[in-house]
Amino acid sequence: MNEAERTSDQGRLTRAKRNAVAELLRISPIADELAARFADRGHRLYLVGGSVRDALLGRLSPDLDFTTDARPQQVQRVLAGWAEAVWDTGIEFGTVGAARHGNTLEITTFRAESYDRVRRHPEVAFGDTIEGDLVRRDFTVNAMAIELSTKTFVDPHNGLEALAQRTLDTPATPEESFADDPLRMLRAARFVAQLGFEPAPRVVAAMTDMSGEIARITAERVQAELSKLLLGIAPRRGIELMVDTGLADQVLPEVPGMRLAIDEHHQHKDVYQHSLTVLDQAIDLETTHEPKLEPDLVLRLAALLHDIGKPATRRFEPGGGVSFHHHEVVGAKLARKRLRALRYPKDVVSDVSQLVFLHLRFHGYGKGEWTDSAVRRYVTDAGPLLPRLHKLVRADSTTRNKRKAIALQRAYDDLEQRIARIEQEEDLARVRPDLDGNEIMRILGIEPGPLVGKAWKHLKEVRLDRGPLEHDEAVAELRSWAAEQGIEPPR
């Protein structure tokens, strides 16, 4: 390490210590009260793990993690009469939860668990020392503690130095750590995306050698970590680590699979790199107009997965071209299947797959040749996903040809302006037939049943094609349709 690097690290260390002091002062009323209650009963209490890391980064949240030598039942007695609420859902793993003054506290007894290296959950054994507790933790930046009664900093694995260097390493060997809990490999990728850390070479090597072990982890746990990764500040880096180590082959195989397909514009190394660029650009667009919005998981998933149908639809055309006809249809099916396997909620599965299905629709717009009918269908098919579809389509323009990029953006500007105009004139958000079901039954003289639904659907198609109809026009259209169906409505 040269002098400049040492100076930079020293500066980061100094800032980290200042951050920690400021954050500890902020939470001191609760931390000091709680530490005093433990001390009065002969126990020690430590702020630990992610809470210490975040304090050093100056971003401590109201969710605080503590560890103690007190056993769970003793912790419950300490909290009785002080906490506003206490829960024991994690007590079998030594964790008691509590709430006070808007803070959520998790207090876990020192642990020295062992793993059978087959199942996800450890066989819990309580420990007696903070050092024994810290060595079992996932990464050195999470293996720091502060003894709260004396404000003593405990860092047996040089986590503060790793934090200053933005390095992700394990207290024990990564092979031992990942064998104990393979989910830690995915957490490594998540911390890369979430905190901007760089994994140590030995961590990357172990992830590469042991990526198949992630199969031991339940889909629900994998999905939770993947979602946190995608919601981080730099999800591209986390995805790249997953792909480079083979972890993505186990979790999201469609993503590394895109490396096989050459982008049809021949402007990108491959569809995989194109998709990562689209992800980056979608994230940039998330907050362009609304900077206070939270990260959008649905948009980010759609951006990452929008072209996963290309490998299966790739065709080499005469003259050296490449086509991917209907890749949006195949991609939507693949996205739905993968997200279901990862146990994503139904609404996430539906929304992401619909965005993948619709992402190519705009490219038929050309120079504005769409009729108003086509614009209505675009809006209606997107429904409440329209704002996300706008961002996805704009993000999907990654051409290096500046003239072409400007033309695409102008075309989409024009489409959005047309949508706004038609929405203002016709209330597109609630496109419905000009006659409701009761009117259809009265005019045709029929009872409730499938025929009413068919008539309603026909009138909606007419509404999309021609816009709003006068009442007499709608009745005439319904009667004309009925005659084609062999229905004789009453006069």
Q: pLDDT tens digits, residue range 386-396?
A: 999 999 999 99
pTM, whole model, 2 decimals? 0.80
**What's the mean pLDDT when you consider all of the chain?**
86
Q: Among 247, 245, 243, which residue's Cα sits nearest to residue 222?
A: 247
- Strand, helix or coil at 70? coil
pLDDT of residue 30: 87
Give bridge partners of residue 153 from the DSSP assignment.
146
Q: Are 375 and 422 in contact (CB under 8 A)?
A: yes
DSSP string for residues in 233-272: S-HHHHHHHHHHHTHHHHH-THHHHGGGS--TTS-SS-HH
pLDDT of residue 177: 93
Q: Are 331 and 309 in contact (CB under 8 A)?
A: yes
Q: Among 394, 336, 321, 331, which residue's Cα sits nearest to residue 363?
A: 394
Which residue is it, tokens 């951050």? 19
Q: Among 13, 87, 107, 26, which residue's Cα sits nearest to residue 61?
A: 26
Q: Are 467 and 376 in contact (CB under 8 A)?
A: yes
Question: Is 340's pLDDT higher than 80?
Answer: yes
How many Å separate Cα 330 from the centre of its chain? 22
Determine the Cα–Cα distance for residues 234 and 252; give it in Å rounded to an integer: 18
Dmax over CA atoms of the chain, in Å, equals 95
Total Cβ atoms within 10 A of residue 367: 9
Q: Are 237 and 218 in contact (CB under 8 A)?
A: no
Q: pLDDT tens digits, residue range 393-417?
A: 999 988 878 888 888 888 888 888 8
**pLDDT interval class at 85 (50, 70, 90):** very high
Determine the Cα–Cα distance for residues 464 and 231; give it in Å rounded to an integer: 37
**Polymer length of the chain:** 491
Q: Among 347, 256, 345, 343, which residue's Cα sits nearest to residue 308?
A: 256
**pLDDT interval class at 268 (50, 70, 90):** very low
Residue ranges of domains in the chain, CATH in brackets? 3-165 (3.30.460.10), 168-251 (1.10.110.30), 260-430 (no CATH), 437-484 (no CATH)
Q: What's 211's DSSP letter?
A: G
Which residue is it, tokens 């992800």? 279
**pLDDT interval class at 185 (50, 70, 90):** very high
Total Cβ atoms within 10 A of residue 174: 27
Total Cβ atoms within 10 A of residue 480: 11
